[in-house]
Structure 1
């Protein structure tokens, strides 16, 4: 690897680490929740709860729920009467007052069903005067499958897999999940019997819509059964969805099954949702680190969506435009973008949206100099792999075995193997946070005497 690529890769790694640090879930809890009145009350988002009356229960789910629970334990300690959180396998941490369990993501398993039932039991045991604190981060939907009456775990697994494979957005996936579940779409809040609910939420969706994050268990649900059927029809998978799931959605659309709680429902008068960490915060921290490294930082968007390989090509084109505007002596540029792309599977390879972006970017950058990129999931997991994403530079394709080999990898959606071959995989291990994905491209100014 040439000196320029090596230097840029080191800078990209530092920039990504700064982004992760800014959205650490435990720090997010500490920023937004505090004790007052000598420890007798809890304050968040301008509201206060008396800790001397009623019980404090804690439930949570998601890839970052463990550090959030740790932070809450340090704050509340023995005030916690009961607590339970579920995290993705390998994301657990030791807890003193809150029980922790693990389950599968992104396709749910039986451990997740058990976890969802435990969370519902705790909520249903609440009464007026109690406080139910909900810790929610990305991954919560898959980690807490609560099949609606008449449905099985297999029904949820198959439906989720179909939606993920066809390229549906997280908004579309979660709309369907809510209507096949007993937890999503405000139903967790409804189960709390009028108790106060404080939800501390780390966003993993574009636009930070509370009804979409973790399928919105404590938020009003604007989506409907009819919209779920439309989503499945549009992706041409309605006939492939398990019969019982399809029948439930059709019955709901016909009015035979009650809808999820909607905006304006009085139950939400007792609910306080706090958005504690977002992709924008990660981007701003990444920009600050880039500036500290002597680069000019430009945040392009925190709403990145679309087909992964097409988005990667667009970002590389933006980097080339930036390069064309630089003169010898100028600061290098760091282009930043955040969001969540999709991959429509046509091959049987192994990868994820960030790895596919890295592979596509490598093909666009082949033979170029002075531009390098990182494409990574802030949760440390990209698709069904142990990689967070990957790097790309002008030499990546050559390291993969040449353009023909790289194109074959892309056609098979086999980005993991391509990046492994080129030494371009990014492996971080569990980061225990999740604010979607981050892409950064570094553009070096030309050397004095270089041709335009």
Structure 2
């Protein structure tokens, strides 16, 4: 999975620690593989389909469809085809251009744009909606919702155009809007997001199958919640635009019309659209962390999971990781080395320059700086589980106290948001290619015995 493993280990100060860090990363990403997770969580015995704690009698349905989209959608669909075989009637999933669609015979994969939606995203969204409208009370709709689904399934509402969705999303991101604020807007600009897909598919039975890339695994947030109740309103969406002084005319006009009651509000938890809807998280950050923890324990290291919900500025989060490792080496708290300190979540970067980087690159570079020039027995592997960290092609980095030779140059790289540029020159970037999943960041800090 890690394409440049040998080169990374050749450059490591403590190859044994570095190798375990990479082993834990690979174990985490494999566990979050959507096809594997689907086969484990979706089971067919006789005519009974079991998903999590819910069971569906297939004799009650004339058709079974798979509909959805996102980075992991192809893998989930492949797992469903393997489980259901010819019981699956067909379906449509919108996937990025680098998705592995091999083995899909019944579900059609439509190439869509990511991270920016394209006309292919509109096509995928429209076809998913058309199939949902055709569903009836004897249809079982297996709805695949994964990270990247917001971009891969674009269905502009009313008279809005794809450009309107793209422009307002880019403006919100540039302004620093968080995921909840961004979702409040885009849910009210879509015919599919914010529970609309569930409303369109009613009275079919809808089973949401989620691969979560959001902190907390909230179904209303993953892929902008097409099968989940929406807690926000048109008024909330307008407030976000006003807060960030964003004023795209077509978008504002659509939201104002909705606030007046000219467009139907997104369905909330009391809406009858959800009477026959359940949502199940097949894999998330905790899936990867648990697998990495098991791998560390098997190697004889004491694993400590700090949290699956780390967020905030990557550099600041990195200092917490450093502090935990330093305390462990000095006092044996909160874990006695040899140990592996694990965390997941979604850190962010405030872009200050025109370099190449991402949250995991910044986290890793800051850790390397803090330990640089010491003989501390530590190694950190820090990656985005989808294989692409921020604006970079690499997944993240592997660092240790020997990674940084020029601290001033490393600090300058951080100031210019060029973590991957600097780490690339040091041969420290972890390259996996597209992994076909996304459960956000996975950080593995191996702490050996001092001395």
SS of 2:363's equivalent in the other structure is helix
Q: Report the counterpart of residue 219 of structure 1 in structure 2.
A: 228
1:41 deviation in Å?
A: 3.9
Unaligned 5+ segments in structure 2 are 1-9
Q: Report the counterpart of residue 108 of structure 2 in structure 1.
A: 99
1:260 counterpart = 2:266: yes
- Aligned residues of 1:120 and 1:188 also touching (Cα < 8 A): yes
Name the CA distance, whole Å, in 2 between partners of 1:352 and 1:167.
15
Query: Which TM-score applies when normalising by structure 2?
Result: 0.92
Name the CA distance, whole Å, in 1 between partners of 2:82 and 2:276.
25
Q: Report the counterpart of residue 46 of structure 1 in structure 2.
A: 54
Q: Report the counterpart of residue 393 of structure 2 in structure 1.
A: 386
1:75 counterpart = 2:79: no
Name the CA distance, whole Å, in 2 between partners of 1:3 and 1:190.
54
Higher RCO structure (Cα 8 Å, ≥6 apart)? 2
Q: Report the counterpart of residue 113 of structure 1 in structure 2.
A: 122
Q: Report the counterpart of residue 450 of structure 1 in structure 2.
A: none
Summarize the Cα distance change of 1:8–1:168 in structure 2 as closer, same or farther, 3 Å threshold. Answer: farther
Q: Report the counterpart of residue 403 of structure 2 in structure 1.
A: 396
Summarize the Cα distance change of 1:295–1:230 in structure 2 as closer, same or farther, 3 Å threshold. Answer: farther
- Aligned residues of 1:165 and 1:344 also touching (Cα < 8 A): no
Q: Which moved more, 1:377-386 or 1:295-304?
A: 377-386
Q: Could you list the per-position Cα deviations for residues 273-308 of structure 1 after superposition, in whole angstroms to 9, with x for gaps in the alignment?
A: 111112112111111111111211111111101011
Residue pairs, 1:171-320, within 5 angstroms? 171-234=180-243, 236-239=244-247, 242-320=248-326
Name the CA distance, whole Å, in 1 between partners of 2:411 and 2:337.
34
Q: Report the counterpart of residue 60 of structure 1 in structure 2.
A: 68
- Aligned residues of 2:364 and 2:398 also touching (Cα < 8 A): yes
1:72 deviation in Å?
A: 0.8
Name the CA distance, whole Å, in 2 between partners of 1:342 and 1:228.
23
Summarize the Cα distance change of 1:219–1:41 in structure 2 as closer, same or farther, 3 Å threshold. Answer: same
1:237 deviation in Å?
A: 4.4
1:326 deviation in Å?
A: 4.2
Name the CA distance, whole Å, in 2 between partners of 1:133 and 1:247.
34
Which of 26, 39, 62 aligns to 1:17? It is: 26
Q: Could you list the per-position Cα deviations for residues 239-258 of structure 1 after superposition, in whole angstroms to 9, with x for gaps in the alignment?
A: 4xx22123323333444432
1:51 deviation in Å?
A: 4.2
1:4 deviation in Å?
A: 4.3
Which of 64, 89, 99 aligns to 2:97? It is: 89
Q: Could you list the per-position Cα deviations for residues 317-356 of structure 1 after superposition, in whole angstroms to 9, with x for gaps in the alignment?
A: 22211221249xx641211111001112221222212112
Residue pairs, 1:132-151, within 5 angstroms? 132-151=141-160
Summarize the Cα distance change of 1:276–1:43 in structure 2 as closer, same or farther, 3 Å threshold. Answer: same
Q: Could you list the per-position Cα deviations for residues 73-103 of structure 1 after superposition, in whole angstroms to 9, with x for gaps in the alignment?
A: 1122222222111211211322111111222
Name the CA distance, whole Å, in 2 between partners of 1:361 and 1:403.
12
SS of 1:349's equivalent in the other structure is coil
1:42 deviation in Å?
A: 2.5
Q: Could you list the per-position Cα deviations for residues 171-206 of structure 1 after superposition, in whole angstroms to 9, with x for gaps in the alignment?
A: 333232211111111101111131111111111111
Which of 380, 384, 405 aligns to 1:377? It is: 384
- Aligned residues of 1:359 and 1:406 also touching (Cα < 8 A): yes
Which of 431, 437, 443 aligns to 1:433? It is: 437
Summarize the Cα distance change of 1:229–1:341 in structure 2 as closer, same or farther, 3 Å threshold. Answer: farther
SS of 1:382's equivalent in the other structure is coil
Q: Could you list the per-position Cα deviations for residues 78-131 of structure 1 after superposition, in whole angstroms to 9, with x for gaps in the alignment?
A: 222221112112113221111112222111111111111111111111122111
Query: Which TM-score applies when normalising by structure 1?
Result: 0.92
Cα RMSD over matched residues?
A: 1.9
Name the CA distance, whole Å, in 2 between partners of 1:315 and 1:224.
38
SS of 2:307's equivalent in the other structure is strand
Q: Report the counterpart of residue 5 of structure 2 in structure 1.
A: none
1:227 deviation in Å?
A: 2.5
Which of 13, 19, 35 aligns to 1:26? It is: 35
